[in-house]
Structure 1
Amino acid sequence: MISLDDFKPVTPEDRAFFADLYRRHPPVHSDMSLTTMLCWNHYAHYEYARVGEGVVIMSTIQGERSFRGPVGPPDAEALEAVLDLAVREGGEVAYYIFDDATLDLVSARYPALPLRPDRDFADYVYLTEDLADLPGRDYLTIRKHLNRFRRECEPTVEAVTPALLGEVVGFLERWCEWRHCDDSPVLAEEKTALQYAIAHFTDLGLEGVAVRVEGAIAGCALYDRLNDETAVVHFEKGLPDCDGVYKAVNQETADRLKGRYPFLNRESDLGLPGLREAKLRYHPHHLAEVHTARRVDLEKRHL
């Protein structure tokens, strides 16, 4: 049996622990990334505990707990312990599944348990080469838009390094003034997450690309490794100074990662129609899906 007392907060000191865990059991969804957990810890309050040979992760958002895992070798007994805990301590949506191996294990053991796909939080995963090269008719409109941006705005591009982070902070402030971050709970939380990423850029192993227009940063992306085959873009921002900067940031990011990672994860669309349309326009290779189970259904899983 596992209890809340077995959990401890996810902290920067856990980097070696999670690096070893994810070397053996690579994550496929951005929400399982240690970078994500650390940057968003102020909001989701991530904690973890060992169960059997695996690890279960808990998050608490606005007082509602949810659980995921165990991350580790298939273990029906450990899974049962996690689901029992989710029934005792979880919120309405008490259990999340972020990978096919766990989905298969849960489905095989509890075939009658309703597992609901959460489309809003499915990650978009692209072929990095496609986003870098924008080949063929599928990307014709994007290429035209990008070419116009480069012709009219004459951007320059450079890697984000520790020496550039001061300018990145200034860019973020301008972006938040434009988007009125402090008036939006979602953007205010994201601003805090991005500030953490910038402050811990080196420790997190982040990389980035910045696009300048008239000498000032107009667009920026921060990214890192998710697994051996996939990089994940954690933050991607652009100012309205010159139409097309987001497309430039996206293409420049992929161009720098091409040859290192076959796939590029650009996270979810959060159910926002405009963002979904924009992400679909780039023709994802696949979605890293999310499934959930409600506490009331977990209670009845043995019936």
Structure 2
Amino acid sequence: MLNFKPLNLEDKITFDKYLKPYTFSTCEYSFTNLFIWRKGLDVQYCIINDVLIIKKMDFHGYYHFMQPIGYRKENLKEIIEVLMSYQKEHEMNYLFKDAETSFVHDVKEIFGDKFIIEEDRDNSDYIYDSSKLSSLSGKKLHGKKNHYNNFIKNNTYHTELINEQNIEDCLKAACEWCKQNDCKGYLKYELKAIQELLTNSNKLDFIGMAVYVNDILSAFTIGEKVNDDMAIIHIEKASANINGLYAFVNKTFVETCFSDIPFINREQDLGKEGLRKAKLSYYPVKLEPKYSIY
């Protein structure tokens, strides 16, 4: 019998034990990400045979498992069969979502064509060359460089790493921006995630940057290094009426905090047309796929 319990901050030590030994390709397998969305997506977990099993809900209200963490090929069949029984008993629409390519290969090797496996394009992560984001060099990013230059020429500004002195400013700005955009649905979940991050800043593995324009907090961003090859940008918020501010935040944060990391993961677009257009406009080096299995 699987006994799931809600994820809490105190579980970080346990999750680090299972997550840290592996180099995941997507944002889903970051403890920070799981923690800040734990309420919005009802993240729960249990451990069977020294394998971490994570169950959560997607933004449409459907429950699924993430791929088991710490499995071995010789015990994967048994683990999946246990999860299949739970799925049937609890009438879950999916067996797995957020599955990475390597896990899909293992499932196919063991089960052949037993499962339907579909790429979930709306949840593919956008992966960028860190040096391109920090330099905005090349013809493709010429427009972004112009926006950046426009901002620095026409504004009085300064940047600060997020700390105890400016967290309250960030929290107030996040609430105000959410209100301005009819704070409900995904935006309400995101606001809760931001609040979770900032109020637990001394206990989570992230770094953030705040931008003040005319001494008013006008943007902030939060990210973390997850391994030697990749950093994830979890949050990026900026005042939409300051020309070039988003380009400035994007470039300066990577340049300041992640210049030694080859790749930057800016997470998924969730099928939102405006967000997809914005992410594609920075020309990712690849879209890291995630799969649904049922």
TM-score with structure 2 length normalisation? 0.91
Identity over aligned residues, as a percent? 25
Deviation at 1:97, TM superposition (A): 4.1
Q: Which moves more between the two structures, 231-240 or 171-180?
A: 171-180
Q: What are the Cα deviations for residues 192-233 of structure 1, in whole angstroms up to 9, with x where unaligned?
A: 111111111111122111122111111110111223321111
Tell me the residue number matched to 2:186: 186
Distance in structure 1 (CA, Å) of the matches to 2:77 and 2:242: 54
Q: Which runs of 5+ in 2 are unaligned?
A: none
Deviation at 1:163, TM superposition (A): 1.9
Aligned partner of 1:13: which letter? E
Distance in structure 1 (CA, Å) of the matches to 2:84 and 2:228: 30
Tell me the residue number matched to 2:7: 10
Q: 2:65 aligns with which of 64, 67, 79?
A: 67
* Preserved CA contact (<8 Å) 2:83 2:95: no
Tell me the residue number matched to 1:80: 81
Q: What are the Cα deviations for residues 91-126 of structure 1, in whole angstroms up to 9, with x where unaligned?
A: 223321432221111122233222111110111111
Secondary structure of the residue aligned to 1:70 is coil
Are 2:100 and 1:99 equivalent residues in the alignment?
Answer: yes
Tell me the residue number matched to 2:242: 242
Tell me the residue number matched to 1:297: none
Tell me the matched-pair count. 289
* Preserved CA contact (<8 Å) 1:47 1:57: yes
Distance in structure 2 (CA, Å) of the matches to 1:145 and 1:197: 29
Distance in structure 2 (CA, Å) of the matches to 1:21 and 1:11: 16
Are 2:286 and 1:283 equivalent residues in the alignment?
Answer: no
Secondary structure of the residue aligned to 1:43 is coil
Q: 1:117 aligns with which of 119, 132, 144?
A: 119
Distance in structure 1 (CA, Å) of the matches to 2:275 and 2:188: 18
Secondary structure of the residue aligned to 2:166 is helix
* Preserved CA contact (<8 Å) 1:67 1:90: no
Cα RMSD for the two superposed structures: 1.8
Distance in structure 2 (CA, Å) of the matches to 1:276 and 1:217: 26
Distance in structure 1 (CA, Å) of the matches to 2:154 and 2:259: 30
Q: Which runs of 5+ in 1 are unaligned?
A: 295-303
Deviation at 1:63, TM superposition (A): 5.9
Aligned partner of 1:100: which letter? T
Q: 1:33 aligns with which of 30, 46, 52?
A: 30
Tell me the residue number matched to 1:158: 160
1:262-301 matches, within 5 Å, as 262-294=262-294
Deviation at 1:15, TM superposition (A): 1.0
TM-score with structure 1 length normalisation? 0.89
Deviation at 1:67, TM superposition (A): 0.8
Aligned partner of 1:276: which letter? R
Distance in structure 2 (CA, Å) of the matches to 1:63 and 1:145: 39
Secondary structure of the residue aligned to 1:173 is helix
Change (3 A) 1:64 1:269: closer
Distance in structure 2 (CA, Å) of the matches to 1:205 and 1:178: 30
Tell me the residue number matched to 1:19: 16
Distance in structure 2 (CA, Å) of the matches to 1:153 and 1:4: 56
* Preserved CA contact (<8 Å) 1:225 1:231: yes
Distance in structure 1 (CA, Å) of the matches to 2:150 and 2:94: 46
* Preserved CA contact (<8 Å) 2:134 2:259: no
* Preserved CA contact (<8 Å) 2:101 2:291: no
Distance in structure 2 (CA, Å) of the matches to 1:102 and 1:170: 41
Aligned partner of 2:285: which letter? H
Secondary structure of the residue aligned to 2:134 is helix
Tell me the residue number matched to 2:215: 215
Q: What are the Cα deviations for residues 26-48 of structure 1, in whole angstroms up to 9, with x where unaligned?
A: 33221221111111111111111
Secondary structure of the residue aligned to 1:212 is strand
Distance in structure 1 (CA, Å) of the matches to 2:103 and 2:176: 42
